[in-house]
C-alpha cells in the first residue's frame, strides 16, 4: 500500500479534526483515499483492507469496530461545509450518509457512502491537496499529522503562514497552552519539526511576534524547498525513500543533534 494517494479539495483542510487520535486520523484518511471519484455510490471496505490501508496494529475485530465507530461519531460532530469568498453565504453538512459496520459475517466489512453535498470534496476536483497515505499514516503525533496535511496544501510554494488563532484551531491545541509558549514548543512544535523534517527538505518553523507588551506570538510560518508541480508522490522504494529522509535530516540546520537523532 506504499503507493496509495490521498487527494481531496483544499476545503477539507479547513475543518479541525476535534479530539481525533492518530489512529482515528489514519482510519479517516485511509477511507478518504478510496472514496475519491466514487460519486454517491456505496463503497465497501473489508476489515482486512482497511486495517492494511491504515496500518492498524491491534488485531481483535471488536476493538477495530470500536475504533471505527468512534471515528464515525467524531466525524458526525464535524462541520463540513463551504463559504463564499465574501463569507456571506455559508453551508454545513455531514460528510457520510451511510456508515454501516457488519462484523457478523465470514468476511466483516464496512459500507460507506458520501453525502451528496460533500461530493465536491472528493469528486471532479479542480484544485486539490495530494500526498502519500503511507507518509501521513506513519507520522505518530496528531499535531504532526495535521501540520503535514496543511503544508501539503502549499507544496509548490514552500511557504505557509498560520495566525495563532488558526494554528490553535486547526491543530486542536488545548486552550490552556494559549499563554504557555513553552508547552507549545515542547508538545506541538517539537514533534512537528522532528517528524516532518524527513519529509520536507529544509523545513523551518518560525514564530511571528506582534507589537506591544512582551511581544506576543501572533502566528507561525513554515518554509521548505518547494516541490515541483509534477513531483511524484509515489514511493521510490524503501532504500531510496529512507536515503532521501536521511538527507533531509542531516542537511537541516534547524535541529539539534539530539533532535536529528530522534527524527
Tens-digit pLDDT profile for residues 110-135:
999 999 988 999 999 999 999 999 99
Range of the domain at 222: 139-262
How far apart (Å, rounded) are the C-alpha atoms in residues 254 and 183? 19
Average pLDDT over residues 58-64: 85
Residue 181 belongs to a domain: yes
How far apart (Å, rounded) are the C-alpha atoms in residues 219 and 207? 6
Average pLDDT over residues 156-165: 96
Q: What is the pLDDT of residue 235?
A: 66
Q: What is the pLDDT of residue 2?
A: 56
Lookup: cell for 189? 512544535
Count of domains observed in the chain: 2
> Would you say residue 153 has pLDDT above 60?
yes
Residue 126 belongs to a domain: no
Cross-strand bridge partners of residue 46: 109
CATH of the domain at 70: 1.10.10
For residues 81 and 143, state if they share a domain: no
Lookup: cell for 29? 484518511
How far apart (Å, rounded) are the C-alpha atoms in residues 62 and 151? 35
Spatial CB neighbours of 256, under 8 Å, sequence gap ≥ 6: none
Q: What is the pLDDT of residue 179?
A: 84
Average pLDDT over residues 219-242: 84
For residues 201 and 117, state if they share a domain: no
The mean pLDDT of the chain is: 90
* Residues above pLDDT 90, as percent of the chain: 64
At 1, the pLDDT band (50, 70, 90 cuts) reads very low
For residues 198 and 248, state if they share a domain: yes
For residues 144 and 47, state if they share a domain: no
For residues 143 and 256, state if they share a domain: yes
> Would you say residue 25 has pLDDT above 70?
yes
Amino acid at each position: 500500500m506504499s503507493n496509495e494517494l490521498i487527494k481531496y479539495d483544499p476545503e477539507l483542510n479547513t475543518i479541525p479534526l476535534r479530539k481525533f487520535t492518530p489512529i482515528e486520523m489514519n482510519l479517516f484518511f485511509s477511507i478518504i483515499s478510496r472514496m475519491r471519484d466514487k460519486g454517491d455510490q456505496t463503497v465497501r471496505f473489508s476489515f482486512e483492507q482497511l486495517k492494511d490501508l491504515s496500518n492498524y496494529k491491534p488485531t481483535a475485530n471488536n476493538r477495530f469496530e470500536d475504533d471505527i465507530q468512534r471515528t464515525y461519531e467524531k466525524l458526525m460532530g464535524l462541520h463540513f461545509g463551504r463559504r463564499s469568498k465574501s463569507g456571506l453565504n455559508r453551508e454545513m453538512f455531514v460528510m457520510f450518509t451511510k456508515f454501516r459496520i457488519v462484523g457478523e459475517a465470514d468476511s466483516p466489512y464496512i459500507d460507506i457512502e458520501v453525502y451528496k453535498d460533500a461530493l465536491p470534496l472528493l469528486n471532479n476536483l479542480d484544485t486539490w491537496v495530494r500526498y502519500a497515505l503511507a507518509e501521513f499514516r506513519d507520522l505518530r503525533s496528531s499535531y504532526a499529522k495535521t501540520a503535514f496535511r496543511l503544508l501539503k496544501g502549499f507544496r509548490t510554494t514552500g511557504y505557509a503562514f498560520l495566525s495563532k488563532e488558526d494554528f490553535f484551531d486547526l491543530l486542536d491545541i488545548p486552550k490552556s497552552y494559549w499563554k504557555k509558549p513553552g508547552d507549545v514548543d515542547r508538545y506541538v512544535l517539537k514533534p512537528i519539526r522532528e517528524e516532518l523534517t524527513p519529509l520536507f527538505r529544509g523545513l523551518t518553523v518560525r514564530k511571528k511576534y506582534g507589537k506591544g507588551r512582551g511581544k506576543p506570538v501572533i502566528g507561525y510560518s513554515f518554509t521548505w524547498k518547494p516541490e515541483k508541480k509534477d513531483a511524484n508522490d509515489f514511493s521510490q522504494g524503501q532504500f531510496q525513500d529512507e536515503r532521501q529522509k536521511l538527507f533531509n535530516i542531516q542537511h537541516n540546520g534547524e535541529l539539534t543533534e539530539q533532535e536529528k537523532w530522534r527524527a
